[in-house]
Every structure is written in structure tokens, then in C-alpha cells.
Chains A and B, each alone.
Chain A
Amino acid sequence: GENVEQHPSTLSVQEGDSAVIKCTYSDSASNYFPWYKQELGKRPQLIIDIRSNVGEKKDQRIAVTLNKTAKHFSLHITETQPEDSAVYFCAAGGGADGLTFGKGTHLIIQP
């Protein structure tokens, strides 16, 4: 089955700086790679996703890059703000398959 590794587990950055979270996956059949933001006790909120036929996608301050050959993908958040503080999960899967999630990154934005 799919295995997703996510690093770091905790990331603390100064407000206004950039944050980068990295994930690797094992199953070359995975073709869908979403990123979620989850606040305590709430459902995961999709913030950006990318499919295997695309190398990079950007939405305002958030971008995701995918290296299908190396089986890794990364989330980039620029100009971080206090409201970006949360737990972020990467996931891999696609089609009729459920998602395999990484262990999560606790992002802390220091004022």
C-alpha cells in the first residue's frame, strides 16, 4: 500500500517569512496529492491540490510542487500570517482510492 512521509513534524517561523513542508510517497500509482489544513476538532480543509500531470500549482500565497520521478511533493506558504498557524497534512491517492495521509506538521507563526 501507499506510505506517505511528512517533515518536519513541527515548524516555527517568523510572521512574514516563508514555510516549506515536504512529503514523500511510495506508490507510483498515486496521482492526486492534496494538502489540508486542520484546526483542532475540525474537519480537514483542502488548501491546494496537484495532480501527477502537473509539476507546480500556485494559489496566492500557497504553492505546491511535485516531483513525480523522485516521488516527493512540497507545500510552500509565503508571507506567513498568524492565521496560518495550524496542523497541515499532505496526502496521496486518487481516483476511487482513499487517501493516505502524512503524520502532519504543526506550523507555528511567531509574531
Chain B
Amino acid sequence: GAVVSQHPSWVICKSGTSVKIECRSLDFQATTMFWYRQFPKQSLMLMATSNEGSKATYEQGVEKDKFLINHASLTLSTLTVTSAHPEDSSFYICSARDATSGGDEQYFGPGTRLTVT
């Protein structure tokens, strides 16, 4: 149980275009999903917290107009990187929390490798 998927697993796009990444909880309802970014040989950094049916909460320094997050259902959150630039190339990982279980554990997706050329 507690499986989270991400799509796509990797994507290459040209500078200036937008890319959408999907995060799905496959066997549980995720009232809260989190988006992290990880640059090579660095740690995971929280970008934003996404709550179903409400606006996402962004961490300091993360541009909300550049990283659009939508959490329209209890099993799906999307991250859209708008007007992507080479410096946005990174490993994007989502996680989901099963709030109904009362636990704190976050279940991570497999990540999406974004390369902007």
C-alpha cells in the first residue's frame, strides 16, 4: 500500500516552454502533497505544500507564478514549471501524506528528472 507515482519520469524541454509533472497517490487519499526539488549531489528542498481544494503554500524563495501547483483531487497534484530555463533543470520529487491514517509518514514518488536545454 501507500504508493505514489509521478509522470513523466524524465523530460527534456526547450528554454521558454512549460512542463507539467503529475503526482498521484494510487491507493490512498492524500489531503496534503508536497513538492521537493533536488539538485545534483544536494539535498531535497521543500518547494511547496499542496492541499486539496485550496491554494498551495510556497516556501520562501520559490516563485509561485513560475511553479504552478494544482491539487484538484485527493489523488492528484500537478506541478507546472512555466517558462523553464536551464537553471530549473533538477530532480523534482513529490510526496503525499495519508492524513486519514493519522501518521506523519510521507510517501515519495519516484521523481521526475527535468532537463531544460
Interface residues of A (CB under 8 A from B): 1, 31-32, 34, 41-44, 46, 49, 51, 89, 93-104
Contact = CB atoms under 8 A, between A and B. Distances in A.
Nearest to B50: A98
Contacts of B34: 98-99
Contacts, number: 54
The majority secondary structure among interface residues of chain A is strand
A101 B110 contact: no
- 4 nearest A-B residue pairs (beta carbon): A32-B104, A98-B46, A43-B108, A98-B34
Interface string B41-71: 0111110010100000001100000000000
Interface residues of B, number: 25
A98 B106 CA distance: 9
B74 to A, nearest CB: 15
Given A89-B44, A101-B44, A46 B105 contact: yes
B46 A104 contact: no
Contact of B93 (A43, A51, A95): A43
B110 A42 contact: yes
A44 B104 contact: no
Interface in B70-104: 91, 93, 95, 97, 99, 104
B1 to A, nearest CB: 14
A7 B109 CA distance: 26
B7 interface: no
A44 B46 contact: no
Contact of A41 (B60, B109, B113): B113
B104 A43 contact: no
B108 A101 contact: no
B106 A99 contact: yes
Given A42-B110, A43-B109, A98-B49, A103 B104 contact: no
Given A1-B60, A101-B43, A102-B43, A44 B108 contact: yes
Given A1-B59, A101-B45, 10 more contacts: A34-B106, A43-B108, A43-B111, A49-B105, A96-B32, A96-B99, A98-B36, A99-B44, A99-B106, A101-B43
Contacts of B42: 103-104
B59 to A, nearest CB: 8
